[in-house]
Amino acid sequence: MTEEATGATISAPGAGDHVEVEAPFYHEGAPQAFQRLWTPHRMVYIGGQNKPSDDTPAQCPFCTGPERDDEEALIVHRGQTSYVIMNLYPYNTGHLLVCPYRHISDWTEATAPERQEIGELTATAMSVVRSVSHPHGFNLGMNQGEVAGAGIAAHLHQHIVPRWKGDANFMPIIGRTKPVPQLLGEQRDMLAAAWSARTGQSGD
How many residues comprise the chain?
A: 204
87 in a known ligand binding site = yes
How confident is the model at residue 76, as a pLDDT?
96
Tens digits of residue pLDDT in 76-126: 999 999 999 999 888 888 899 999 999 999 999 999 999 999 999 999 999
Bridge partners (DSSP) listed for residue 137? 163
Strand-pair partners of 100: 82
H, E, C per residue of 56-116: CHHHCHHHHHHHCCHHHHCEEEECCCEEEEECCCCCCCCCEEEEECCCCCCHHHCCHHHHH
Q: Is the pTM of this model over 0.85?
A: no
Bigger pLDDT: 52 vs 125: 125
Which residues are catalytic, by number? Answer: 157
What integer pLDDT is reported at residue 88 of this predicted model?
Answer: 85
Mean pLDDT score across all residues of the chain: 77
Give the pLDDT score at 140.
Answer: 95
